[in-house]
Amino acid sequence: MADTKESLKGLNLSLRLIDKLLERTQIPEPLSPTAQLSYSQHPKKRYALYQHLILTKLRDRLETYLKADNHILILSFSEHPDELSSWKRYAPYGGYSLGFSADHLAIKGAEQSFQLLPCYYADWKDQAVVIQGALLGSLQSWLAQVQELYYEGADLQKAYLESIKIVDRETQRVHDILLQVVSLLKHSDFKDEAEWRLVSDSVPAEYLHYDERGNKFFPYAPYDFDDSLREVKLRLPDSSMSALGLRGFLASKQTSTNAVSVSLSKHAFQKSGYDFVKKAEELDSHESEI
């Protein structure tokens, strides 16, 4: 993403929440095997122990992600094909709005380890509440699994070793859920975009491609759209002539039975821009208040 501010803010909110939960568990560190087994024999202590273990591992995983060892890949779309505010933000000098089949995107995305999901719009404080709900909700299922291990047999050492495997597995699951939630949060100032995103699983840096632009390296991954393009809208100084040329170009590239329609924007072209710097400064001022 060109602007990582919102995703980094979400991850830092997650780390702060995890730190608060770790303080409440009050587990002495480091725990000896004997102390760990002692905790495991009592339901309340057992809950605190495994919550502590998962949160500790989860914090390590999120910090690893923040160091750019892994990436979440995002491809953005909008429900609104012809929104004036979007033209001003992303194509102030004219451009094209590409419309895709949502069903086709969802199917092709799943084949390439992406999910098509809507963004959630909220201010920073509300985003913290959403993250907290996702984290606490996703921590629950492992507790029943751990309790079963201790109720089934008297070998506490074996149960402890098996439960550590559960902790490792559940930590990865909670980590993935949390990253997905963070990747779908956007500030409410941009709710008019009605954005949907194709969101990938976590991808190790070594599996990505890199593009050098302006002395910076941008990670990306190829994505196969196949024949999901359905519509193109134009908003250009000479839209009618541009539409004629585009129709000819698309006809020359047509490889499927799905025809791509070409139409003009309902908004007459006017040369105007959108002040991203001003908007970023406004968001920074809101962030510093909380």
Handedness of CA 239, 240, 244, 250 (dihedral sign): positive
Instruction: Provide the domain limits for residue 10.
Output: 5-288
Q: What SS3 state is found at 79?
A: coil
Percent of the chain with pLDDT over 90: 20
Longest dimension (CA), the chain: 80
Residue 79 is encoded by which pair of tokens?
């429900």
- pLDDT higher than threshold 90 for residue 105: yes
Placement of tokens 């057992």 in the chain: 46
* Band (277; pLDDT cuts 50, 70, 90): very low
Q: What is the pLDDT of residue 5?
A: 62
Q: What is the pLDDT of residue 106?
A: 93
Number of domains within the chain: 1
Q: What is the pLDDT of residue 20?
A: 82
- pLDDT higher than threshold 80 for residue 12: no
Q: What is the pLDDT of residue 290?
A: 45
Predicted TM-score of the model (pTM): 0.69
Q: What integer is the mean pLDDT of 134-144?
A: 69
